Structure formats: C-alpha cells, structure tokens
Amino acid sequence: MENKKIPITILNGYLGAGKTTLLNHLLNNQVGLKIAVIVNDLSEVNIDAKLIEQGTSVEHIKEEMVELSNGCICCSLRSDLLVGITRLVDSKKYDYIIIESSGVTEPIPVAQTIIMGQTEDGRDLSQLCYIDSMLTVVDALRMKTEFNLGQALEEHGHEHEEHHHDHHHDDEEEKPIAGLLVEQLEFCNIVLLNKTDLVSKEELAIIKSYIKKIQPEATLIETKFGKVPFDQILNTHSFNLKTVANSAGWIQELDGHDHEEAHDHASEYGISSFVYRRKRPFDIKKLGLFYDYLPRSIVRTKGVIWLDINHDYAFMISQAGESMKFEEFGLWLGSRSEEDIQAYLKNSEKLRKNWDEYHDRQTELVIIGIHMDQKEVETMLDNALMTKEELETSWNEYLKIKNAK
C-alpha cells in the first residue's frame, strides 16, 4: 500500500444509540475497503463468524484483535490511543481507520490526539493520518425522551409548568445523559439520526428541528438499524477543525448568525432561542434556585456568566435537560495587565463598545426552549441578579482589596 495519509472517522454516540450496529455494517463491507476499527470492548461487537479470517487463533481473540477475511480488522483499545493508531498506520495494511469513542467520553480529546499528537519516535500524527469526519450517532427515541421533546406536541397550556431539577445523582446508571449527548452533537460534522422508525413522523420533525438548533452546520442523515451508504460517512473529506469548533448552535447564536431555514422549522414546533445579556453579576444562591426550579420549557442553556463570588474570573455554565456543568472559564480581561487590556481593546471594536466601569464583565447566556415565554424567563433571570446596591457595595470592596495588594 502506498505511503499516504490514512483517513479517520471518529464515531461518537451514547450507549444504545446504534454505534455497534453501524460498526458491524462497516466491518462487513464488501466494497474492497480495508477498515481498521478501534473499539472499547471487542465483546460488544458481534462480528459475523463467517468473516473471521481462517487461521485467526484463539490467542488473537484473547488479545482482543479479530482479523476478517475481507481485509478488515477489529481491535480493542487497551493502551494509548496514539500508540494504537500509529501501529495501524505503520502496518500499511489499511485504507481507513474508525475510532469508536466511549459512550461516556467527550469527542474533543480524541480529535486533539490525532491533530496534535506525536508518535513515540517523534513524528507528528497529523503527517500520518487525518480526521475525515466526526460522526455522532443519535437514538431518535432517546433524544425525544431525554429532552422532553414530546412536549412540543402537547397543549400550549402546560408550557409554563416548573419542575424541581435535582442535578445531584448518586447512582451512575441514573445520571442524565443530555449534557454529554449535546456535547457530542455540538462537536461533529455528521449526525446519524438512528432508530427513526421508533418515533412518529411529527416527532421526528421536532427531533430534527432540535438537533439543527443545537448543531446547525452538520449533515443530518436519517437511518434505521444503522444502515447508511458508505459514501455518505466514509472518505467525505468533510471535517474542518475550525469550522466544527465554531459550529455549535450556542456559539452561532452569540455571534448573531441566523440560520433562516432551520429557524423557520424550529419555530413551527415552538422551538426558540435567545441570548440573555446583562452587565450585572448573578447572586450564586439565587441562580442556583433558578436552575433547581427550571421551567420545563427550557431544554438548553450555555454561556459565560459573571458571578458575585468572584469578580476576577468568568464562569462557564452548561445545562441540557437535567444535566448540569459549571466551571471556571478564565480571567476577565479587566483583571489582566494594563498592557493586555490595551492590546485587546485596540483590536476589538466590540470590546471597546461594551467597556464600562466594570470593564468586560458581563453575562452572555444562550437559552433554548420549547413553547418558551422569553419575557418570563428574562424576568426570572433578572430576579437572580445582584441588585445595583449590592453590586456597588461588592465592587467597592473588591477594588479596595485589589488596590491594597
């Protein structure tokens, strides 16, 4: 086989979405493609016994590697992903590599390994292979139930109900998967919407509208039993890191991009979104109560927020269904050196325009909902902010401490 870069498809999807069925379909291909598949657990992949290469020893299977008569191979990832990919590429036996990322891992680290990784002998992995596509398999029925999308078909009168959301789950099996599912959707360029036969035609239209709200740029392919033409998912040359990294719906919303067709379909089913922007920090306790009693009409919130507990650092908040993630995002520009501040202000008209006595500190939170009353949600969030008097006191104390250093 000639010395050329090997294309890689990274396959994401939660447990039960249909990744294994799709992998079997790809491994059993009779189109002459020699595919190497790296899976998490070989026992999960039900390979057709007739395809297992004659002479493949029991030891090979024990070593968690099965060679097939059509030239494909299925192996389990027992060590470092980078090492596994390098060995497959260096063997010069395969045309294509598919990596099944674990159902409970985020897709970005896997992509980073391929784009920025180095082999043990110092070669850039990006010189040996490239990401051809980042594919996320979604179970249509699970999507509908996890995000309560069935409510889009309900009577409008139920839309303002509030439900207590317990974001603390002790049982691993009971943890909501919505957050991970959304992350896998937000960082992909192909969505395979599987098990479409398990939902009604109207439910399917709502699910597709919601996916497009979360990920407006990706190619959406509908399928049953994971069967899809190979040319739609292999050798597509469709992955671009910069494009995919900025393709999530919440990022596009913040940037003011409007996908008119997707917006029309979404609004038809009552799916809407808006950006909540304020130049006052949240009271962390009041914000906690907002999320504890989140209106059931809200299915997704994500953004950078200003909190009363720390005027130096911005925080990232990410909620999907009942999944919740909250983490430090980084220093506000206003807390950096004067040199940094002037350099950024010089190069950004947007920053200059929004700069005030609190510098760049503000909240920008994207809210996606179904039959959502925007004014009501804005009022609820406004009630979770510090009052002007509280902010003035807090800010003066902050400046006093900062100037004393």
Share of the chain above pLDDT 90, in %: 45
Position 221 pLDDT exceeds 50: yes
Q: Please tell me which of 72-76, 319-323, 384-388 the model is most confident about, judged by mean pLDDT.
A: 384-388
The whole-angstrom distance between residue 99's C-alpha and the CA centroid of its chain comes to 17
Write down the pLDDT at residue 100. Answer: 83
pLDDT tens readout for residues 374-388: 999 999 999 999 999
Domain chopping of the chain, boundaries: 6-249, 270-404
Which CB contacts under 8 angstroms, 24+ apart, belong to 42-50? Answer: 42/66, 42/74, 42/75, 42/76, 44/20, 45/20, 45/74, 46/20, 47/74, 48/24
Categorize the per-residue pLDDT at 77 as very low, low, confident or very high, splitting at 50, 70 and 90.
Answer: low
Write down the pLDDT at residue 75. Answer: 64
> Nearest to residue 273, comparing CAs of 293, 248, 236, 242?
248
Considering only residues 265 and 290, tell me which one the structure prediction assigns the higher pLDDT.
290
Identical fold at 6-249 and 270-404?
Answer: no
Categorize the per-residue pLDDT at 396 as very low, low, confident or very high, splitting at 50, 70 and 90.
Answer: very high
pLDDT tens readout for residues 331-361: 999 999 999 999 999 988 888 998 999 999 9
Q: Dig out the tokens for 295 from the structure.
A: 């209106």
Position 57 pLDDT exceeds 50: no
Categorize the per-residue pLDDT at 112 as very low, low, confident or very high, splitting at 50, 70 and 90.
Answer: confident
Write down the pLDDT at residue 179. Answer: 82
Query: Distance between CA 66 and CA 47 in Å, rounded?
Result: 9
Please answer whether residues 239 and 245 qualify as being in contact, where contact means their C-beta atoms are separated by less than 8 angstroms. no
Query: Distance between CA 26 and CA 251 in Å, rounded?
Result: 33
Mean pLDDT, rounded, for 392-402:
93
pLDDT tens readout for residues 20-50: 888 888 877 667 788 888 876 555 555 555 5
pLDDT tens readout for residues 89-101: 998 988 999 888 7
Burial call 242-257: b when 16+ CB within 10 Å, e when fewer: eebeebbbbebbbeee
Query: Distance between CA 216 and CA 364 in Å, rounded?
Result: 20
pLDDT tens readout for residues 178-187: 788 888 899 9
Give me the CATH code for the 270-404 domain, please: 3.30.1220.10
Position 111 pLDDT exceeds 90: no
Q: Helix 201-214 crosses helix 178-186 at what angle (to 10 degrees)?
A: 70
Write down the pLDDT at residue 155. Answer: 39
pLDDT tens readout for residues 124-140: 999 999 999 999 999 99
- Strand 219-222 versus strand 73-76 pairing type: unpaired
Task: Mark out the alpha helices in 123-166 (DSSP H runs).
Answer: 140-146
Least confident interval from 26-35, 68-77, 205-214:
68-77
Give me the CATH code for the 6-249 domain, please: 3.40.50.300
Share of the chain above pLDDT 70, in %: 78
Query: Distance between CA 18 and CA 143 in Å, rounded?
Result: 13
Query: Distance between CA 339 and CA 50 in Å, rounded?
Result: 68
Backbone dihedral angles phi then psi of residue 177, each to the nearest 5 degrees: -105, 0
Sign, CA dihedral 351-354-360-363, equals negative
Query: Distance between CA 360 and CA 344 in Å, rounded?
Result: 11
Mean pLDDT, rounded, for 307-319:
95
Query: Distance between CA 364 and CA 352 in Å, rounded?
Result: 17
Write down the pLDDT at residue 364. Answer: 95
Least confident interval from 207-211, 214-218, 254-258:
254-258
Position 329 pLDDT exceeds 80: yes
pLDDT averaged over the chain?
82
Place of tokens 């503000």: 362
DSSP-assigned letter for residue 302? E
pTM beyond 0.75: the answer is: yes
Write down the pLDDT at residue 399. Answer: 92
Mean pLDDT, rounded, for 205-230:
92
Query: Distance between CA 333 and CA 314 in Å, rounded?
Result: 10
